[in-house]
């Protein structure tokens, strides 16, 4: 099994690729680009996000942390679910272009909050109070 440091780097790299890929697909959606509907745009995010999730689970197991035992990790799990929902609204399920743009912006902001929680081991805003 990979050591904790290697897993952390894999996880951080996958997170970076994931948000970069989402931002690119979001820009394509705004521009009305047919690239959004390409096979790569539909398959690659699932591969990257699987690596991201698998590395997160392995990190938690190696650290002996249950997601609900520490607030920041529980926030990340809940945030991830909301991020996925917002992402699907932004890229394909939003009924209007405005709704898609708003959902995409919210997804990117939430991703930033998830990174904050990981970096500072606290829930954004609540951890600062």
48-77 per-position pLDDT tens digit: 999 999 999 899 899 888 877 888 888 998
Does residue 122 contact residue 128 with C-beta atoms inside 8 Å? Answer: yes
Structure tokens at 83: 């991020």
Give pLDDT tens digits for 104-128. Answer: 999 999 999 999 999 998 888 765 5
What pLDDT is stored for residue 126 in this prediction? 64
Task: State how far the Cα of 110 lies from the Cα of 104, in Å rounded to an integer.
Answer: 10
Look up tokens 């697909």; give the residue. 25
Q: What is the pLDDT of residue 129?
A: 43
The structure's pTM equals 0.88
Decide if 15 contacts 48 (C-beta within 8 A). Answer: no
Contacts with 105 (C-beta within 8 Å, 6 or more apart), sequence order:
none
């Amino acid at each position: 099994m990979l050591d904790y440091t290697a897993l952390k780097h894999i996880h951080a790299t996958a997170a970076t690729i994931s948000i970069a890929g989402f931002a690119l697909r979001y820009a394509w959606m705004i521009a009305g680009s047919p690239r959004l509907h390409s096979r790569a745009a539909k398959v690659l995010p699932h591969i990257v996000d699987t690596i991201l999730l698998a590395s997160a689970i392995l990190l938690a197991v190696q650290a002996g942390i249950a997601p609900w035992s520490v607030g920041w990790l529980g926030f990340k799990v809940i945030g991830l679910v909301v991020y996925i929902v917002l992402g699907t609204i932004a890229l394909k399920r939003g009924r209007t272009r405005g709704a898609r743009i708003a959902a995409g912006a919210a997804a990117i902001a939430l991703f930033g909050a998830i990174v904050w929680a990981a970096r500072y081991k606290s829930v954004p805003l609540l951890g600062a109070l």
